[in-house]
Structure 1
Amino acid sequence: MDAGLFTANNVWMMICTALVFFMHLGFSFLEIGLTRQKNTVNILFKNVFIICVGLLLYYIGGFNLMYPGDFNGYVGFAGFGIGAPEGGMTPDYADGGYTWWTDFLFQGMFAATAATIVSGAVAERIKLGPFMIFTIVYVGLVYPIVGSWQWGGGFLSTLGGDDGGFYDFAGSTLVHSVGGWAALIAIWLLGSRIGKFGEDGKPNAIPGHNLPLSAAGVLILWLGWFGFNGGSVLSADPELTSLVLVTTCLAAAAGGVGAFLFSTILYKNYDLTMFLNGILAGLVGITAGADQMSPNEAVIIGLIAGIIVVLGIALIDKLKLDDPVGAVAVHLICGIWGTLAVGIFGGLASGQQFMWQLTGVAAAAVFCCITAFIIMFVLKKTVGIRVSKEEELEGLDGHEHGMNAYGDFRMNEH
C-alpha cells in the first residue's frame, strides 16, 4: 500500500476518534440540561469518571477481551495490556486502514459510551459509589464480551457460516442496546424520582433546568456521529465514508422531523425535547446499517425511529419507570429497531438476515439483562443504590460533592 494512503487512512481514523471522544461532552450537556440544577455536578462527575475509567479498563483488559483472536466464539482473552504486535504500525495491520494504537484508541472511545447511556437514565437519585462500581464491572467485562461476539469474530458473526451472520456496522446493538438494557434494569431496581408519579399513577413532568444546553448536547452528538459511524468504515475509503455520512445525517434529520410531527399530533404542542430525542433516535436507528442503506432507506429508517421514540417514551411512563433523559427509548428501543432494519432494508435485506439480526438482539438482551441485574441487585442488597429522601430533595451536588454548579444557586429554591 502507498505510504500516503496509509497515512491518510490513519489520520481519518484519529479524527474520528476525536469526534467520538467529543460525544462525551454532548452526553454531559444533554443530561444536565434535561435534569434539575441541583444535580448538575453529580452528572458531570459521573460522565468524567466514565471516560477516564473506561479507557483505563479497556487498556487493562477490555481491548483483548473484545478482540481475543482465535477463540471459542463466546468468551476469549488475549492477555492484559496492549503491547503492539509485530507489524502493528505498518500497512500489514488492518489492511492498511490504521495502526494498532489507533485501533485501540478508537475502540476504547466506544467502550465508555455504554455506561454513559446508563448515567442519564439513573440521574438524580443513584448513589455515586455504587454507580461507579457498576460502571467498572459493566464496561470492563460485559461490554467487551458482547462486542467480541460480533466485532471480535465470535458466534454472532458466523451464524450463517460462509453465508454471513448478524450484522451491526457501528453498534445499534453492540453499543446502544448494551447500554440500553442496563439502563432499563437499573431504573427498574432503582425506582422513580420523588414526585415523578402521582397517587393516581399518572406521570408528572419534571422539567430540566437548561434546554439550551440539551440542544447543544444533541448537536454535539450529531457531529460526533460523523466519527462514530464514519470511523466504523475503518479506513478513509472515499465512496463508503461519504455514503455513511450521508445516510447518518439523513436518518438524524428524518428522526427529528418524524418525532416532532408525531408528538405534535399526539400532544398538540411543539415539544423541543421530543424533537431532540428524535434526532438521536434516527442516529441510533441508522447505526447498525449505515453502510448498507441508500439515502431513501436512511430517511425511512430515521422517520420510523422518530415515531418509535415518541411511543417508547410514552411506554416507559406507562410502565411507571422513570428515565429523565429518554435513554431507554432512544438507545434500547431504537437500537433494536435499527438492528432489525438491516434485515428489512439495504444490501443485506432478506428473511434469513432478519432472523440473524433478531438472534443478535435476543443474545445481547439475555446476557446484558442478567449481568446488569446481578451487578445492580448485589449492590442494592449490600451498599444500597439509592440516595436518601433528604439527599434527593435537596440535591446530590451539595450532599455528595459539597459544591454547586452555579454560584448563585440556593438549595431551598430548587
Structure 2
Amino acid sequence: MEINEFITAIDTIWVLVASALVFFMQAGFAMVETGFTRSKNAGNIIMKNLMDFCIGSLVYWVIGFSIMFGISNSGIIGDISFLSAATFEHLDLTIPKEAFLIFQTVFCATAATIVSGAMAERTKFNAYLVYSFFISLIIYPVVGHWIWGGGWLSELGFMDFAGSTVVHSVGGWSALMGAWIIGPRIGKYSKDGKPTAIPGHSLVLGALGVFILWLGWFGFNPGSTLSGMDSVGISHIFVTTNLAAAASTFVTMAITWIRYGKPDVSMTLNGSLAGLVGITAGTDVVSPVGAVAIGIIAGIVVIYGIEFIDRVLKIDDPVGAIGVHGLCGAVGTIAVGVFAVDGGLLYGGGLDLLLVQALGVFVVALWTLTTTFVVFKSIDKTIGLRVPQEEELKGLDIEEHGIESYADFQIKGVTATN
C-alpha cells in the first residue's frame, strides 16, 4: 500500500468512527428528552428521535447534501444534485465522498432532533414529521452552505469548526419558534402567568442521555478534523471539549446551589450540554484556558437563559433545549472572536473576527426563525400542530401510537397526570 493510500484509509476510518459516535448521540437526545418529560409521552419522544434520523438521512441524501456542498451560487446555495450524484471534486476531499456524506448526515439529524424536546408532550406526530422533512431539506443545508460549503459567511472568515451555530443554534432557534407557536403545555402557567414546574419522570434516564451525549461529542468535535492523521489537532480538541463541559457543569452546579439552597440535578445536567455546545465553534482554535472560560460563560448563560425563556418570554421548553442549544450555541460562536489564539480580541486580533462572528450568529438566527415560522404556521393552518386537550392529558403514547411505554409498571389511573 502506498503512503497516500494509507493516509486515506486512516482518515476514512477515523471519520466513520466519529460518524458512529455522533449517530449514538441520537440515543443521548432520546434519553434526555424522555427522562425530562412525563412517562405517558416516552414512546412518542422515542419515535420522534428515531424518525428525525431516518427522514433526515433520506432527505439529506436526496437533495440536502448538494444544497449544502454543491458548487456555490453567489455564496447562497449549492448546485442541486439529486441522490448526491455529483462528484463534489471542488471540495478537494481526502476521504471518499460517501464517508463525508455519512458524517454530514449525522450532523443534519442532530440539528433536527433538538426541536423534539422543546415541543414535547403536545405536538402531533405527523406534524412533527413534516417539520423534520423541511429542516433536513432546506433550512439546515442552506446555513451549512453559508458556513461550511464555501458560502458567503465562510468568505468573510466566519469560524464555526464543528457547529455551535450550523447545528446547535439552527436547532435551538427552530425549537424557540416551534415552542412559541404551539404554546405551553396544559398546566404549565397559572392564571397570573407564573410558571409551574412539571417534573420529568426519570432523572436517571436524563443523566444517561447526558453521558451518552458527552461521549458522542468526542466524535462530533474531533471528527470534524476529517483527518485521523492529525493526531495533535484531535488531541487538542478532545481536551478543549472536555474542559469546557467540565467547567460549565461545575459552574452550573455552584450557581444553583447558591441560588436554590441545593445543587439542582436537572439544571446541572443541562450545564454539561451547555459547555459542550459552547465550545463546539472554537474547539480547534482556543487554548485550554480559553475553553474553560467559554465553559464558565456557557454555565452562566444556560441558567439565566432558561429562566428568562420560562419566566419572562413564557415559552414552555420542557428540556431546556432553547437555552442549551440556541443561546449557548450563539454565545459560544461569538466567543471565538474573543478567545481564538489567532485573531481573537484577547490575543491582539482586534474587533474584526468578533464582528464577523456576531454577524453570522445574527443572520443564521434571522434565517432560521423566519423559515421555521413559515413551516410551523403552515403546518398549524393545515394538518394542525397541536394534539387535542384530551389527548394531551391522557398522553401521546396512547393516543398517537396506541401503546403505554411503561405498561407493566403503571398504576391504573396514573397516566393522566404523570
Q: TM-score, normalised by structure 1?
A: 0.95
Q: Residues 192-231 of structure 1 correspond to what in structure 2 (within 5 A)?
A: 192-231=184-223
Q: Does 1:316 align with 2:309?
A: yes
CA offsets per residue over residues 59-85 of structure 1, 9 Å max, x none? 101110100124210123231012363
Identify the residue that residue 249 of structure 2 maps to in structure 1.
256
Question: Aligned equivalents of 2:88 and 2:148: distance in 1?
Answer: 22
Q: Is the 2:334–2:357 contact (alpha carbons within 8 Å) kept by the matching residues of 1?
A: yes
Q: Is the 2:278–2:328 contact (alpha carbons within 8 Å) kept by the matching residues of 1?
A: yes
- The amino acid across from 1:126 in the alignment is T
Identify the residue that residue 272 of structure 2 maps to in structure 1.
279
Question: Aligned equivalents of 2:366 and 2:85: distance in 1?
Answer: 33
Q: 1:143 to 1:150 in 2, by over 3 A?
A: same
Identify the residue that residue 16 of structure 1 maps to in structure 2.
18
Q: Is the 1:93–1:100 contact (alpha carbons within 8 Å) kept by the matching residues of 2?
A: no
Question: Aligned equivalents of 1:410 and 1:83: distance in 2?
Answer: 54
Identify the residue that residue 173 of structure 1 maps to in structure 2.
165
SS in 1 for 2:83: coil
CA offsets per residue over residues 105-154 of structure 1, 9 Å max, x none? 00000001112110010000011111110110111111001100010000
- The amino acid across from 1:199 in the alignment is K
- The amino acid across from 2:189 in the alignment is F
Question: Aligned equivalents of 1:170 and 1:201: distance in 2?
Answer: 39
Mean Cα displacement is larger for which, 325-334 or 372-381? 372-381
SS in 2 for 1:112: helix
Q: Residues 344-359 of structure 1 correspond to what in structure 2 (within 5 A)?
A: 344-346=338-340, 347-349=342-344, 350-359=350-359
TM-superposed CA distance for 1:313, in Å, is 0.9
TM-superposed CA distance for 1:348, in Å, is 2.9
Q: Is the 2:72–2:79 contact (alpha carbons within 8 Å) kept by the matching residues of 1?
A: no
Q: 1:275 to 1:86 in 2, by over 3 A?
A: closer
TM-superposed CA distance for 1:87, in Å, is 8.0
Identify the residue that residue 128 of structure 1 maps to in structure 2.
125
Question: Aligned equivalents of 1:139 and 1:179: distance in 2?
Answer: 11
- The amino acid across from 1:402 in the alignment is G
TM-superposed CA distance for 1:234, in Å, is 1.3
Q: Is the 1:395–1:411 contact (alpha carbons within 8 Å) kept by the matching residues of 2?
A: no
Question: Aligned equivalents of 1:40 and 1:77: distance in 2?
Answer: 40
- The amino acid across from 1:324 in the alignment is P
TM-superposed CA distance for 1:8, in Å, is 1.1
- The amino acid across from 1:124 in the alignment is E
Q: Is the 1:36–1:207 contact (alpha carbons within 8 Å) kept by the matching residues of 2?
A: yes
Q: Does 1:148 align with 2:145?
A: yes
Q: Residues 52-91 of structure 1 correspond to what in structure 2 (within 5 A)?
A: 52-83=54-85, 85=87
Question: Aligned equivalents of 1:131 and 1:245: distance in 2?
Answer: 34
Question: Aligned equivalents of 1:387 and 1:114: distance in 2?
Answer: 24
TM-superposed CA distance for 1:371, in Å, is 0.4
SS in 2 for 1:60: helix
- The amino acid across from 1:123 in the alignment is A
5+ residue gaps, structure 2, are: 345-349
Match of 2:105 among 104, 108, 119: 108
Q: Is the 1:23–1:224 contact (alpha carbons within 8 Å) kept by the matching residues of 2?
A: yes
5+ residue gaps, structure 1, are: 160-164
SS in 2 for 1:342: helix
Question: Aligned equivalents of 2:279 and 2:17: distance in 1?
Answer: 21
Question: Aligned equivalents of 2:151 and 2:92: distance in 1?
Answer: 20
Q: TM-score, normalised by structure 2?
A: 0.94
SS in 2 for 1:81: helix
Mean Cα displacement is larger for which, 5-14 or 243-252? 5-14
Q: Is the 1:73–1:149 contact (alpha carbons within 8 Å) kept by the matching residues of 2?
A: yes
Q: Is the 2:164–2:329 contact (alpha carbons within 8 Å) kept by the matching residues of 1?
A: yes
The alignment yields a C-alpha RMSD, in angstroms, of: 1.5
Identify the residue that residue 413 of structure 2 maps to in structure 1.
412
Q: Does 1:99 align with 2:96?
A: yes
Q: 1:206 to 1:10 in 2, by over 3 A?
A: same
Q: 1:86 to 1:191 in 2, by over 3 A?
A: closer
Q: 1:384 to 1:79 in 2, by over 3 A?
A: same
Identify the residue that residue 285 of structure 2 maps to in structure 1.
292
Identify the residue that residue 394 of structure 1 maps to in structure 2.
394
- The amino acid across from 1:146 in the alignment is V
TM-superposed CA distance for 1:198, in Å, is 1.4
- The amino acid across from 1:179 in the alignment is G
Q: Is the 2:207–2:269 contact (alpha carbons within 8 Å) kept by the matching residues of 1?
A: yes
Q: Is the 2:14–2:226 contact (alpha carbons within 8 Å) kept by the matching residues of 1?
A: no
CA offsets per residue over residues 341-388 of structure 1, 9 Å max, x none? 010002231310011001111110111111000010111122211111
